[in-house]
């Protein structure tokens, strides 16, 4: 193999804006001729960036799916790309758009129509991680070793991902964004519920109809930033805080540097502020962030991308490539939204029957819907060295647990055993559909999409979350 090219798309449907990118990946076998093949993405190039449009809504609670689909197919035409040529990528729905009534329907419908293999994802933790990759923060942390917090602030949320040495060590999401207070004709037109709850402790909270230049708006922005500072310093302890979306900050190291991305960041670092087209607090929030004394105690690093950080990450950073020594039933691919359950072998074959049986039973309990089976992936970690006899025994144990299964057996291996185990299972039971891959890092609670087999014999895999959040 010299090189192989595949196309990727990234689509970000946010609280304020929607945008899209199309990228080209170059794959190559980076192992030597005498080594086990290892196919990696050696180059990622953006070949089309859409304009940033205002996210279309039919009403306050309903996203206009038809207009978003029209926008996406217009971008494919401009990129001179057919949807069926897209091999991988991600559709993500971010911020308060993920709270809308038809949020799940929108991204699943689009993921089925906009490409052969597009991922439908949501969830604030993953959004923060994707933005940290798209902004260049993950790469910066790998080069410097610093503990860096990427703070992606859009219209509705601030998604924080803390990274060091290129690895994510923690996440947190806050209700902080440009559109949490909106104006019309010089007065307050809307206030986000989280801000209403924040101001409930005030003697005189803001209300609809108050002036757009009311000094209490700046007080509200300052309170939001004070909560952000507490989170960065791991000092927020109130799990029911009105601005907290999900869990408390979960990293253990002190943040040394900060990077802002998202639409608000464009107002921090750039003259062309993308938030100016909206009659809201976005530009004021950016200015107050710049001037806040507590934030100045951190090292500030400029991002490679601001408003497009999330969509750039979605289009270029979500995809991994399986090992080359795999065994897959091509007719069973592509697979989407496959939940993962980790089967830890504890580096021993001593209790293999019980370990595998327990894992399959727990996975069936977790993932079965109304007594109907859905495909799930077993991820085998901490394997001992396997002899030929061990491989055969392990395959027999796996088949025993799936004797009544009507769905493909999907196995992921921490070590390079996928091909030998997949072939052994097929030799024992030739009619069983098997997807057996390796060199992918996953854990219980992850979801994966597995794409169609590429000419090089590998498959693209995307690890994701499907958690939709509510207000």
pLDDT single digits (tens) 350-405: 889 999 999 988 888 877 655 556 789 999 988 888 899 999 999 999 999 987 76
User: For the purposes of burial, counting CB atoms within 10 Å of the CB of 329, is it exposed (0-12), middle (13-18) or buried (19 or more)?
Assistant: middle
d(CA 110, CA 113): 5
What is the reported pLDDT for 421? Answer: 94
Give me the helices (H) in 166-281, please: 193-199, 215-232, 263-269
Q: How many CA atoms lie within 13 A of 309 on its CB side?
A: 34
Question: Which three-class secondary structure state does DSSP give residue 60?
Answer: coil
pLDDT in tens, 34-75: 666 778 888 999 999 999 999 999 998 899 999 999 999 999
Rounded to a whole number, what is the distance in angstroms from the first to the last CA of the chain?
50
Residue 275 in this model has a pLDDT that exceeds 60: no
pLDDT in tens, 404-440: 767 889 999 988 889 999 999 999 999 889 999 998 8
Mean pLDDT score of the chain, rounded to an integer? Answer: 89
What is the reported pLDDT for 336? Answer: 86
| pLDDT band at residue 227 under the 50/70/90 scheme | very high
| pLDDT band at residue 471 under the 50/70/90 scheme | very low
Segment among 4-8, 106-110, 190-194 with least mean pLDDT:
106-110
pTM for the structure as a whole:
0.82
Residue 469 in this model has a pLDDT that exceeds 60: no
pLDDT in tens, 72-82: 999 999 999 99
What is the reported pLDDT for 470? Answer: 45
51 CB-near residues (< 8 Å, 6+ apart): 19
Q: What are phi and psi of 133, to 5 degrees?
A: -75, -45
Residue with tokens 């602030």: 153
Residue 100 in this model has a pLDDT that exceeds 90: no
Segment among 15-24, 41-50, 90-99, 300-309 with least mean pLDDT:
90-99
What is the reported pLDDT for 1? Answer: 56
DSSP H/E element including 54: strand 53-54
What is the reported pLDDT for 468? Answer: 53
466 vs 357, which has greater pLDDT? 357
pLDDT in tens, 197-213: 999 999 999 999 999 99
135 vs 270, which has greater pLDDT? 135
What is the reported pLDDT for 244? Answer: 95
| pLDDT band at residue 313 under the 50/70/90 scheme | confident
What is the reported pLDDT for 467? Answer: 54
d(CA 91, CA 72): 11
What is the reported pLDDT for 226? Answer: 97
d(CA 125, CA 350): 38
């Amino acid at each position: 193999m010299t090189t192989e090219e595949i196309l990727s798309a990234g689509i970000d449907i946010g609280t304020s804006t929607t945008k899209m990118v199309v990228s080209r990946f170059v794959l190559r076998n980076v192992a030597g001729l005498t080594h086990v093949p290892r196919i990696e993405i050696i180059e990622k190039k953006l070949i089309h960036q859409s304009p940033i449009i205002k996210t279309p809504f039919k009403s306050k609670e309903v996203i206009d799916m038809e207009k978003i689909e029209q926008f996406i197919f217009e971008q494919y035409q401009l990129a001179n790309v057919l949807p069926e040529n897209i091999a991988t990528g991600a559709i993500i729905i971010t911020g308060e758009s993920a709270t809308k009534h038809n949020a799940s329907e929108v991204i699943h419908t689009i993921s089925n129509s906009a490409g052969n293999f597009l991922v439908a994802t949501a969830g604030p933790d993953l959004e923060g991680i994707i933005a940290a990759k798209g902004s260049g923060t993950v790469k910066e942390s790998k080069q410097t070793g610093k503990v860096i917090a990427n703070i992606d602030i859009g219209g509705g949320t601030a998604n924080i991902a803390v990274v060091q040495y290129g690895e994510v060590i923690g996440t947190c999401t806050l209700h902080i964004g440009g559109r949490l207070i909106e104006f019309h004709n010089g007065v307050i037109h809307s206030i986000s519920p989280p801000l209403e709850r924040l101001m409930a402790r005030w003697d005189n909270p803001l209300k609809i109809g108050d002036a757009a230049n009311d000094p209490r708006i700046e007080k509200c922005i300052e309170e939001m930033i004070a909560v952000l500072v507490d989170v960065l310093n791991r000092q927020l302890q109130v799990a029911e805080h009105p601005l907290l979306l999900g869990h408390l900050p979960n990293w253990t190291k002190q943040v040394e540097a900060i990077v802002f991305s998202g639409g608000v960041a464009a107002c921090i670092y750039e003259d062309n502020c993308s938030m100016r087209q909206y009659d809201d607090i976005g530009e004021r929030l950016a200015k107050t962030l710049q001037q806040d004394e507590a934030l100045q105690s951190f090292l500030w690093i400029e991002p490679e991308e601001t408003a497009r950080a999330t969509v750039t990450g979605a289009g270029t950073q979500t995809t991994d490539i399986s090992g080359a020594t795999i065994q897959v039933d091509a007719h069973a691919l592509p697979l989407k939204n496959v939940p993962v359950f980790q089967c830890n072998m504890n580096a021993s074959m001593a209790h293999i029957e019980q370990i595998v049986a327990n894992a399959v039973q727990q996975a069936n309990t977790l993932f079965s819907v109304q007594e109907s089976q859905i495909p799930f992936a077993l991820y085998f970690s901490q394997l001992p060295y396997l002899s030929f006899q061990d491989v055969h025994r392990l395959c027999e144990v796996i088949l025993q647990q799936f004797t009544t299964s009507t769905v493909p057996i999907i196995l992921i291996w921490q070590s390079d055993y996928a091909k030998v185990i997949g072939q052994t299972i097929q030799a024992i039971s030739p009619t069983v559909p098997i997807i057996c891959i390796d060199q992918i890092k996953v854990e219980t609670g992850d979801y994966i999409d597995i794409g169609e087999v590429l000419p090089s014999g590998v498959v693209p895999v995307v690890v994701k979350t499907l958690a939709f959040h509510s207000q």
